[in-house]
Each structure stands twice: as structure tokens, then as C-alpha cells.
Chains A and B, each alone.
Chain A
């Protein structure tokens, strides 16, 4: 009786995921094994062309570049989010600070990127100040650079890293840091050896919440980057809109999904791994026995 009810509750969710997630995914898988139509679209003919094209050197270069940019942006984001989350967790005005982190979500994502274009543009806010104060003679090229892409990516995804970090650090028992200091750790040692291992889950979540969307970034490089800062997302979009190669678009998208899934699995493995192997433990136990002269135990 209870089980049936459970299924009933889960029903709408299952229906939703089937119609809007599983079926589209299967359609994409299907498309990736079809032949490209002459004028866009597909021909109903099985083919491995789309998968063979995945190995082209050009594409490999874009993928590597995307990976590196995503990694750099994620590391910068985490490096900023960690101290921010820490200060928030220790603050007496948590609610206010949380609100400030969430406020940007009230403005549309594209509008916020456009705002950066205004700030960084040749006649933008930053250049205006630099010119007026006489620090530079002519406008600097700030927009449409790799740096602009990194800056805006970090800006957009910072809250996604701050929130999970804040919520784990908030649950952390800060007397543990005092205990570490008491036992001889410097401030940095206390953080590295006690805080970080205990908030691994939050760091892991923050990493995923930033790395995955950045790896699939499309709008940010398009709007504030140049040709050289194009990422995998832009490459895929070009295959769809310019080359009109649906099977190749499908195989590329699946590749991204596949690679990120593998990445998540590896990370989850790493996170769940015990820090000491059973053999090392056994060796330690044997050592006590020897040290205490109790013989094997």
C-alpha cells in the first residue's frame, strides 16, 4: 500500500524527466549516428561520420583550451569563494550577507553580462576613469579579451561557489580551529589541516557547480571574448547555426556530457576515499604492539 503511494508521488517526476530529459537525450544519441543533410537537417541513413569528426585536431585544441580556461576560472572562483564563505559563516550578519550574494540573481544573466560590456568597453566606465585621471593616453582594450572572459565567468559563477561553501563552513565546528592552534598549528596550518578536510563536501559541490557550467559556457565568450577565446560551447553552436551539421552537433554535445560525467565520477571516488589504507593501519597497530612489548595482537 505504502509502496504504491510512493510510486504515485514519484509519477509526475518520472513523467517529467522522461519527456524532457530522457527522450531528448535519446533523440540526440540517435541524431549523432545519422548522416548530415545537404541543406541542414539529417538524412535517415546510419553513419559514424559525426563520431569520426570528433577526433579532428582543431576540435581537440578547442577542447583542451576550454578545459584549461574552465579550470583556471574555477580555481579563481573557489579561491575567492572560500574566504568569502568563511567570513560569512563567522559573521553575525549572515542573513544580510546571504541576501547580498543572492541579489545578482534578481537581474537577468544576459543583462549582467551586458553590464560588463558597458564597464569594460573602449568608451566604458573603466577606460573613462583611466583617461580622466591621466593614467593612460588612449583607451585600453579590455573588452573582447581572454581576460574579460575569465573575469565575467568568475563574476557569474561566484555565487554558485559561495553558497555551498558557506553552508558547509557554517556547519563546521570552529573550536576545531582553536584546538589545532592550541596544539601548535599556525593559522594557515589549522586551515589546511583541519578546516579544508572537514569542508571537502562543500568544496566538491562548489567545484562542480562552477566547473560544469563554465565548461559548457557559450554566451560569455561570445559576448565579451574574441576569436581566440572561443570555447567548446561556441564551437558546438557554430556547428549548429553556421555549418548546420546536426549529427556533429549531437556527437559533440554527447562528448561534453560524457567527459563531465566521467569527471564527476572520478571526483566522487576521490572524495569518498579513506585517507589511510587498511595496510597502513595494520602496520601501525603492529607497531604499537612491538613498541609496548605486547607481542602480536
Chain B
């Protein structure tokens, strides 16, 4: 898919299962909306295929695709009441007035807006508009519902609430949702599977767990959650485990199935919450443990957890520590403290070959 010389989508291939809550996740401008618009029928790709339920829908007009969209800006019809907005698809199909009332009533009930049926969209709050848009998109009973950043205009608290509501609607009606977002938390918490996109390409398509725990590329690791990334060289490989040399830090053990070639380079990543931080040196008997000694450069208290930037040699590691008072804890870790950071070799990952590989 190109706009002029600009390639907005490049060789994207996705198989989405029936009834799945599927998310497209990526930074702004990566082509998520363009992909949705191709599925909905508002853009024509230069090449490729869109197949829904075994039917190639590309030659079909948007109104014939059995796909409905919840638009980013809601796109409610300002001249129609909530009732008439939701009834719009039925009126087009000349459904009998009685059936329209029953069905619109049912869908307004689903999104808890029965009491607002007579209002105009301008009289609704953001969350209510959102729900009208959802009811209106669902009333045709589409085989696929497309949602383009549906929560981005809501405040944080309402966003959480609507996300849960969306999830429960999905469970209730069981149709396929294709959900676009640039918010990794949203995607991780509700999706069955996520496709992470960047620059018009799909980098990884997997379950939230795999995306977070086993990112395929440096970009995915960086984009999903926070992480520590290091360029490293591979020293030796054996027994499903590689020994890396990280400049400035030292030798790091990592479990890996991919088996990088010894002598090559690799990008190594470890999530901050997987790193243990303590004043005492951890049990030296474990061979799978990576242990480094360092100095706390910057402790950041943020309520339920603390963040530390720990300088080990020439490298700085980001470490998250949860506050759990039931645990026997030593004295608080403070600025300039000498500490030990450690993590198990199966918590770190190699996310790709190094830049010069």
C-alpha cells in the first residue's frame, strides 16, 4: 500500500482466527489505520488479498463487506439522536419499525445507554459517544469488528473501564475484533494475539505473553514495556545456553533456543523487573545466575514500586523492585549504596543479531 512514493504498508501478512480479539500495536504512523482501512474497503492496496470467511473482499464496496468499524473520532451522525444513530444500518435495510425498536433497544442495553436514547451526540460524554459508536457498529452483526484506537480520546480512568467493557462485549457476542492501538498496556491486557508493527511491517505476531516475554526484535523489546538492551558478542554456545560478553558489563549467561554463532554479535535484553537487587551478594551456588556489583545512581520512588539505575562497570542497568512488606526486607536501598544485581539466565533474551552482523 503506497501513498505516492511512500510505502505505508509493506508485505503485511496476517491470519486472524474467527472470534479472536486481535490487536494491531505500533507507534503512531506505522500503518495501523491504513491496514484497517484496507480491510474496511476505504483504501485499495497496490497488491495483495483480503479474505474474510473464504471470500476475497477486495473487489467489494465498503457497504458490502460484512465488516463494521468503530472510528477513532467516533463519527456519530450529529443530526441524529442516539437511537437513530444505532438504528441507521437497520433503516438502510428497511427493517420494520417494530423490529428496529426491539433490536436497537437490545443493543442500547448492551452498551448501557437505554436512558440516553433520545439525546443528540453533542449531549453525550466521551465514553457514552464511544458506546454509541460500538452499538452502531455491532447492530449489523458483522463478522469482523474493526476498532481504530477507540479509547484514545478518553481519560486514563475511563479508558481502563471501557477496555474491560469492550472485553466483556467481545466475550458476549463472540465475533472477531481487530483492535488498533498504540498503547501496549491496552493491547497486552485484552488481546488473544497481538501483531506488533513498525514502519509498515509486522515485526511479531504472537500472544501477549510471548510478545512480552520473548520479543522477536529489538524494536519489539523496546516498544513493549521497559527493558535493558546491550550490544554483545557471542563467546561460546552449548547446551541451550550462550555465553555473551557485554562491553562495559562483563560476561552474561543467557538461555537461548536460537543458537547464535560463536564469534558473532547479538543484542541482549533483560526486563528491569526480572532483576533482583540487594545489599547482600546472592547465593553463589547457582551456576545459572548472572551477578554484578554496582552503585545505585538514581533511586526513583513511584508508589507501588521503586526504580533504580545501577551503574555496574561502564554499563547502567534499570531495575524495578516491588514493595511487598510481608517479605523480610533489609534496610532500604538508597542513593550511592553498593548493591548486587542478579538475574537468572533464562530471564534474559537475545533479540537479534548485532548491528554489524
Contact = CB atoms under 8 A, between A and B. Distances in A.
B118 to A, nearest CB: 5
- Please classify the interface of chain A as helix (H, G, I), strand (E, B), loop, or mixed, using the class held by over half of its residues: helix
A129 to B, nearest CB: 41
A130 to B, nearest CB: 42
A198 B78 contact: yes
A194 B118 contact: no
B92 A185 contact: yes
Given A198-B78, A275-B79, A292-B114, A182 B105 contact: no
B63 A185 contact: yes
B252 to A, nearest CB: 50
Contacts of A275: 79-80
B63 A182 contact: yes
Contacts of B63: 181-186
A288 interface: yes
Contacts of B219: none
B105 A179 contact: no
A180 interface: yes
Contacts of B73: 173, 175
B117 A284 contact: yes
Interface in A183-206: 183-186, 189, 193-194, 197-198
Contact of B114 (A175, A183, A197, A288): A288
Given A194-B77, A288-B105, A180 B88 contact: yes
Contact of A175 (B62, B75, B81, B108): B75
A285 B88 contact: no
A183 B101 contact: no
**What's the interface size class on A, roughly?**
20 to 34
A178 B117 CA distance: 23
B42 interface: yes
B122 to A, nearest CB: 12
Interface string B229-269: 00000000000000000000000000000000000000000
Contacts of B102: 287, 291
Contact of A292 (B79, B83, B109): B109
Given A284-B83, A288-B101, A291-B105, A181 B61 contact: yes
Interface string B121-153: 000000000000000110010000000000000
Contacts of A175: 71, 73, 75
Contacts of B109: 288, 292
Contacts of A93: none
A179 B71 contact: yes
Given A284-B117, A287-B105, A291-B105, A176 B77 contact: yes
A198 B79 contact: yes
